[in-house]
């Protein structure tokens, strides 16, 4: 019998190149911070996880990981008990992130040790590939004091359509999402309408990240209705979004205000969001995300998946999870087209016809490229920042820029 107990957990912080993508909080920095988690069993099987590489998560992992030695990789209750003990003062949000990072690696180790895919361990495959959406951003041509990247500047409707065309041609995406909350709302709606003209059949979404006032959204509703399949976090908070949801049949979606279990009851009470954009990195891993899907099914909520900047271990985990989730009602989000670095062997997972096939092989079906891990860790060590700060980055381009949520 294979020994499934954890002998060691290694956490390697990494930084990978990220283009100057814009959002309500500012501009992406030149490098995204991430971490790679390796759970090694006493038999030497290595399970992989990927999570945030910000200071709080790295400190939490450093405090919690040693306490998992001796834990069976099947013992999720033990994982959460040890997480609570190791991080007694941490908010729920951080505990879920830290425990969830290790949880994914435990599933991968279990799958690799027993010759089973994670999708099968999570309840079985209901789809062979997982559809993702084209994730469009307004962006600067290049980072401050750097040459333009291949995508170039995207600040106008024409440039936005060109960005969408490149992404759809390269990956075959069906649905299109626009990250908004950056320009004046009317300019962003004009961008969305240009996308509608260029892609008449594509389901569209817009995500201002809570950047619009309630009255602004109410004024814009006549133009948004019939244009978008859902409206993502148009304004701030459960209460504000409930006012909007009461005024429209377009479902509101969120990855900002229903992000842990305690947020679900008030959301149901106020009917703020009818679509939950799950994310295993912050809901507490794969089991918690399957539980969330079941809650959505029972309560009649739509379900899709949120994405931050990520690499291939995360995409593999997202794909296994989504392939094991019957009630996935919308195409998932991924930042993968923006990504030029990779940490798994063989390079980026292919996106074909807008979908990622469930990787073959046991566990998550991906292995670590140790040379790339070392290089990306070198990036991290050389960086002068340890937290994400989009606002400071934004002011390098637009010195007078002010953060506001809501802003417009
Ligand atoms: Mg969002």
Residues facing residue 132 across a β-bridge? 332
Known catalytic residue at 179: yes
48 — pLDDT class (breaks 50, 70, 90): very high
State in Å: Cα 41 to ligand 1 middle: 36
pLDDT of residue 3: 79
Distance in Å, CA 391 to ligand 1 centroid: 17
pLDDT at residue 96 greater than cutoff 90: yes
- H helix or E strand, kind and range, residue 32: strand 31-41
Q: How far is the CA of 367 from the centre of ligand 1 (A)?
A: 29
Q: Residue 213 C-alpha to ligand 1 middle, in angstroms?
A: 16
Share of the chain above pLDDT 70, in %: 100
Rounded CA-CA distance 28/151 in Å is 15
pLDDT greater than 90 at residue 73: yes
* pLDDT digit string, tens, across residues 372-385: 999 999 999 999 99
Q: Looking at 306, 310, 320, 407, which residue is catalytic?
A: 306
Query: Quick check: 8 pLDDT over 70?
Result: yes
CA-to-CA distance for 103 and 284, rounded, in angstroms? 8
Please tell me the distance between residue 2's alpha carbon and the centre of ligand 1 in angstroms.
Answer: 41
Rg (CA), the chain: 21
Helix (H, G, I), strand (E, B) or coil at 392: helix
Q: Residue 254 Cα, ligand 1 centroid: separation in angstroms?
A: 6
Mean pLDDT throughout 62-70?
Answer: 98
Handedness of CA 23, 27, 31, 33 (dihedral sign): negative
Q: How far is the CA of 209 from the centre of ligand 1 (A)?
A: 6
> Alpha-carbon distance 248 to 268, whole Å?
17
Q: What integer pLDDT is reported at residue 1 of this predicted model?
A: 59
Q: pLDDT digit string (tens) for 292-331? A: 999 999 999 999 999 999 999 999 999 999 999 999 999 9
CA dihedral 191, 197, 200, 206 (to 10 degrees): 10
Distance CA 175, CA 161 (A): 14
| Burial of residue 170 (number of CB atoms within 10 Å: 0-12, 13-18, 19+) | exposed
Instruction: Tally Cβ neighbours within 10 Å of residue 291.
Output: 13
**What per-residue confidence (pLDDT) applies to 131?**
98
Confidence of residue 2 (pLDDT cuts 50, 70, 90): low
How many whole angstroms from 361 Cα to the centroid of ligand 1? 32
The answer to whether residue 277 scores a pLDDT higher than 70 is: yes
Active site residue 306: yes
How far, in Å, CA of 389 to CA of 400, rounded?
Answer: 16
How far away, in angstroms, is 232 Cα from ligand 1 center?
6
Tell me the pLDDT of the chain averaged across its residues.
98
13: Cα separation from own chain's centroid: 18
User: What structural domains and CATH numbers belong to the chain?
Assistant: 6-116+370-383 (3.30.390.10), 120-357 (3.20.20.120)
| pTM of the shown model | 0.98
Which of the following is catalytic: 28, 112, 143, 179? 179
Give yes or no for a contact between 289 and 283, defined as CB atoms under 8 angstroms apart: yes
Query: Which residues, 6 or more positions from 102, have their beta carbon under 8 angstroms from its beta carbon?
Result: 9, 37, 39, 49, 61, 64, 65, 68, 79, 83, 285
Given pLDDT bands bounded at 50, 70 and 90, which one contains residue 172?
Answer: very high
What is the 81 CA–ligand 1 centroid distance (Å)?
Answer: 30
**Percentage of residues in the chain having pLDDT higher than 90:** 99
- At 207, phi and psi to the nearest 5? -130, 90
Q: How many CA atoms lie within 13 A of 9 on its CB side?
A: 32
**CA pair distance 319, 117, nearest whole angstrom:** 12
**Sequence-ordered list of residues with C-beta below 8 angstroms from that of 83, at least 6 positions apart, any chain:** 64, 95, 98, 99, 102
What was the pLDDT predicted at 137?
98
Q: How far apart are CA 8 and CA 76, in angstroms?
A: 16
d(CA 307, ligand 1 centre) in Å: 8
């Amino acid at each position: 019998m294979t020994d499934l107990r954890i002998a060691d957990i290694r956490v390697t912080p990494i930084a990978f190149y990220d283009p100057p993508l814009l959002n309500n909080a500012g501009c992406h920095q030149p490098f995204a911070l991430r971490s790679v988690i390796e759970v090694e069993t006493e038999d030497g099987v290595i399970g992989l996880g990927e999570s945030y590489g910000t200071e709080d998560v790295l400190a939490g992992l450093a405090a919690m990981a040693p306490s998992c030695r001796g834990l069976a990789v099947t013992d999720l209750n033990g994982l959460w008990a040890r997480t609570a003990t190791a991080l007694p003062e941490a908010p729920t949000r951080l505990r879920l992130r830290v425990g969830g990072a290790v949880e994914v690696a435990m599933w991968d180790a279990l799958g690799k040790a027993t010759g089973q895919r994670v999708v099968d361990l999570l309840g079985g495959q209901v789809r062979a590939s997982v559809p993702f959406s084209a994730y469009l951003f307004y962006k600067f041509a290049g980072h401050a004091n750097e040459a333009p990247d291949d995508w170039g500047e995207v600040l106008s409707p024409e440039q936005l359509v060109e960005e969408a065309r490149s992404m759809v041609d390269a990956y075959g995406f069906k649905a299109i999402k626009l990250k908004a909350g950056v320009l004046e709302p009317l300019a962003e709606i004009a961008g969305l309408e240009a996308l509608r003209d260029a892609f008449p059949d594509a389901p569209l979404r817009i995500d201002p990240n809570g950047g619009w006032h309630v009255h602004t959204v109410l004024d814009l509703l006549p133009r948004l209705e019939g244009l978008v399949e859902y409206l993502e976090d148009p304004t701030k908070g459960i209460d504000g979004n409930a006012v909007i949801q009461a005024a429209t049949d377009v479902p509101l979606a969120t990855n900002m205000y229903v992000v842990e279990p305690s947020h679900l009851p008030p959301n149901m009470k106020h009917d703020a969001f009818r679509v939950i954009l799950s994310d295993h990195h912050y809901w507490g891993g794969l089991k918690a995300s399957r539980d969330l899907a079941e809650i959505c099914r029972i309560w009649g909520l739509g379900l899709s998946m949120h994405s931050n900047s990520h690499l291939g271990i995360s995409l593999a985990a997202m794909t296994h999870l989504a392939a094991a989730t019957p009630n996935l009602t919308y195409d998932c989000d991924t930042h993968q087209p923006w990504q030029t670095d990779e940490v798994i062997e063989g390079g980026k997972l292919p996106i074909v016809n807008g979908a990622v096939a469930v990787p073959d092989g046991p566990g998550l079906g991906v292995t670590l490229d140790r040379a790339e891990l070392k290089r990306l860790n070198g990036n991290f060590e050389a960086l002068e920042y340890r937290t994400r700060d989009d606002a400071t980055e934004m002011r390098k381009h637009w010195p007078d820029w002010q953060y506001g949520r809501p802003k417009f």
